[in-house]
Amino acid sequence: MPTAEPKTIEILLFEDNAADANLVAEYLDLSMLNFSITTVKRMADGVEKLKKKRYDIILLDLSLPDSQGIHTLRTIMAAADDEVIIVLTGADDEELSLEALQVGAQDYLFKDRLNGEVLRRSIRYAIERSNLLRSLEANTAEIQYRESLLRRIFDANTDAMLILSCAYEIKFLNPAAGQLLEAQPNQLVGEIFPFEVKGGEITELEIPDYNDLTRIVELAAVDLIWEGESALLVILRDITQRKQAEIGLKREKERLAITLDSITDAVIATDQAGHIERLNQEATRLLGISSNEALDRPLAEVLKVKHPKTGKIIKDLTSAMIDPGLTGIATKLGLQLERADGNHLNVTLEMCEIRDEDGKQHGAITVLRDITWEKKKEKELFNAEKLNSISLLAGGIAHDFNNMLTAILGNISMVRIELDESHKHSLKLIAAEKAALQAKSLTQQLLTFSKGGAPILEVTTVSEMVEESAQFILRGSNVKCEVTMDPDLWPVDADKGQISQVVNNLIINADQAMPNGGNIHIRIRNLKVRPSEVPALSAGNYVCIEVRDNGTGISPSNLKRIFDPYFTTKEHGNGLGLASSYSIIHTHKGTITADSSLGHGSIFRVYLPKSVQQIDEQTNRTITTPAPPEETIHRGKGRILVMDDMEAMMMVAGEILTVLGYEVVYSTDGNEAITAYKAAKEANTPFDACVFDLTVPGGMGGEEAAKILLTYDPELIAIASSGYTTSDVMSNHKNSPFKAVVPKPYRIKEMSDALHSLLKSK
């Protein structure tokens, strides 16, 4: 096979010395190169040649008649295209030769050391280097183009993308990554990526966001070359919604199971072939068979009911239930269910087919109901009516009892003012006052079951009341209690008396569940609840009180009823403890849950919302409203209108106000109070404040009267004072016509504080 002729090397020689030009030509002949040479003596002539033709090699003498030194090289480089330039200099111009290399020449040759071999090697090496440089430049341009293209692709991509060095230094990130990481992209370049990544692997991360929540991010990485170095392309995808959907689906399934188990009727779901897909706990109880034993078996094989007329087992329940005659009889008379243990129960049976939009059957739902269900509902209705009666009774008792306590406390307070602390009866009066204040807890328990049981909230922490309850309840018990808590517990808005009652109920139940002794562990912690994490609880920040025992436990059938009024498994129990606890926590905008299994103990969790206010750790009081010294009595002056339906209570209130320095006018109901207030206003002897009882049996109460007077006089200063009311005024008076509240029973100090606060600016 013939070889291709070698390419002729086109050479342009700049040399004004003819002898040197001839010498170079001779050396070229000796070099055995295939060449063609053109010689010029002046730089201008060479520039003209370069404009007309491209050469492979330029041999350039830097000393020409029309140009000298580096200027010559720069001029030729500007005129040349991509020709290879080799500089010819004298031996004493080495410094100039080195400078020429820096400017852009490929090589330099000393004329007095020139020969054919040196010239041949220089020309070949210079051409090879030039070709290599052009190739590198082309590759670099290609790389730059590809990187530019990648940058544009990355910038347009909605997925978050980052380029990391081998040391995890962020080299580049697109706008989507900046948005995901909540920063400007240029601020993150140069930072170290904080998560470990490996090429070809996919991991999931939790990243906090500005809402103090977390986002779930899927991270994938692949190896690549970036700016000539090994790097990692990291792709981040926010999969929070997908994960939440998966969690939501899982929880929906769990809620479906919980819902089915909470239904008092037996529910059985079957597929298109009539095989059991799901059944609740009540169904397993009625059938006398476990869930595992029933699943995937034909319904007729597990559910054996007898025909009401023939007394024979119905083989095809679906066909039998379609018969309107049988359905009517079954609903009215009930069917006889044969349990797995051979015993029989009287039940009603209802069946509903599941069909799609085209009418195709996909399965059926069968509902079994124990024939005693109606009696159970009647009993529950009776219990509800009974509870309502107790609520009314409790409210009436609380109202009268608090009025009597106020009379007692008021008289004690006035006597104490007249007595010196060193008097022999002073300590007895203090003891009587403390006993009367302790009696308030009795009315509070009654109010829990009444419509007037709205909590009186204050900012507090629950740790102290929990520890006190544990010590008090378990005194003398063979049960030990351990309390652990987070170091910086959040404050809550709570009624201390009601929350103490809840904690007491839970500790008492735990103690009674361990008659032979055991351990109660109470844990108090701050908890951030995610959406749907706790049933019936909104997402947010809560304080969780967890009471755990290792007692006998609660059966599944009883567990779903423990918060029902009057439900109890105790011989001498009344079934009101957990019911009232649930009601209390619900009014605090929280919830209470229970988990238990027989033989493994129980766990009760109370969730109370975190307060939006801060408390002073020294005094456990709201920072913005520091309390006055404990026994400071503020005296004043002015006219006060008192309205109360009980004469004794009205007179005690009047005496307290008189001792404090006020002039008092009395009224027994709202109508009298309105008339007296308007008359005083028109006579130019207005009242400075009013103290109204809210509940007046058979007459107008204080709230209605205050609303009417506020329309008449927008500057009305009214104080609500009540021991029981069906409204929420005493727990939240901000949206009422009252400027302050003084709950009954009260001492002279509480009334003096309220009046001083409202009238001090007058």
Cα gap 460→493, rounded to integer Å: 6
Same-domain pairing of 526 and 582: yes
Q: How far apart are CA 366 and CA 352, in angstroms?
A: 7
Strand order across the beta sheet in which 57-61 lies: 35-40, 9-14, 57-61, 84-89, 107-110
396-405, 550-559, 710-719: range with lowest mean pLDDT: 396-405
Whether residue 245 is contained in a domain is answered as no
**Domain containing residue 397:** 384-440
CATH number of residue 225's parent domain: 3.30.450.20
**Domain for residue 487, yes or no?**
yes
Q: What is the CA radius of gyration of the chain?
A: 48
The pair phi, psi for residue 226, each rounded to 5°, is -135, 120
- DSSP string of 136-164, one letter each residue: HHHHHHHHHHHHHHHHHHHHH-SSEEEEE
DSSP 726: S
Q: What is the mean pLDDT of residues 517-546?
A: 90
CB atoms closer than 10 angstroms to residue 325: 8
How many whole angstroms separate alpha carbon 688 and alpha carbon 681? 10
Is residue 252 domain-resident?
Answer: no
Number of domains in the chain: 6
Name the band, by pLDDT with cuts 50, 70 and 90, for residue 333: very low
Give tens-digit pLDDT for 47-83. 888 888 888 888 888 888 888 888 888 888 888 887 8
Q: What is the CATH number of the domain that holds 743?
A: 3.40.50.2300
Q: In this structure, is residue 391 part of a structural domain?
A: yes
CA distances to 217, 282, 293, 482 from 279, in Å: 37, 8, 11, 40
Domain boundary at 136, 166, 198, which?
Answer: 136
Report whether pLDDT(4) > 60: no
Q: Are 603 and 612 in contact (CB under 8 A)?
A: no
- For residue range 243-284, list pLDDT tens digits in order: 777 777 777 777 777 777 777 788 888 888 888 888 888 888
Same domain, 18 and 123: yes
Instruction: Work out the average pLDDT over 658-673.
Output: 92
DSSP string, 518-580: EEEEEEEEEEEEPTTTSTT--SEEEEEEEEEE-SS---HHHHTTTTSTT---STT--S-HHHH
Q: Note whether 476 and 577 are same-domain residues.
A: yes
Residue-level pLDDT at 501 = 83
Does one domain contain both 41 and 71?
yes
Residue 433 near residue 412, CB atoms below 8 Å = yes
pLDDT one-digit tens code per residue, 420-434: 666 666 666 666 666
The yes-or-no verdict on residue 326 having pLDDT over 50 is no
The three-class DSSP label of residue 185 is: helix
Nearest CA to 724 out of 744, 752, 709 is that of 744
Tokens of 586: 């619900």
- End-to-end CA separation in angstroms for the chain: 122
CA distance 627 to 615: 12
Residue 84 has pLDDT above 70, yes or no: yes
**pLDDT value of position 232:** 84
Same domain for 410 and 353: no
Distance from C-alpha of 696 to C-alpha of 707, rounded to nearest angstrom: 15
Q: Judge if 466 and 612 occupy the same domain.
A: yes
Task: Identify whether the C-beta of residue 542 lies closer than 8 Å to the C-beta of residue 605.
Answer: no
**Residue recorded with tokens 């040479």:** 37
Give the closest residue to 450 by CA, choosing from 397, 492, 496: 397
pTM recorded for the entire structure: 0.37
Q: Are residues 746 and 718 in the same domain?
A: yes
- Both 490 and 545 in one domain: the answer is yes
147 domain-assigned: no
Question: What local confidence, expressed as pLDDT, does residue 399 receive?
Answer: 61
Cβ neighbours of residue 190 closer than 8 Å, sequence gap 6 or more: 169, 170
The verdict on 611 and 468 lying in the same domain is: yes
Same domain, 389 and 305: no
Residue (of 757, 644, 751) closest to 702 by Cα position: 644
- Do residue 486 and residue 610 come from a single domain? yes
Residue 610 and residue 491 in one domain: yes
Which of 136-140, 248-252, 480-484, 747-751 is the most confident on average?
480-484
CA distance 762 to 686: 13
* Model confidence pLDDT, tens digit, residues 475-529: 778 889 999 999 889 999 988 878 888 888 898 888 888 888 899 999 999 999 9
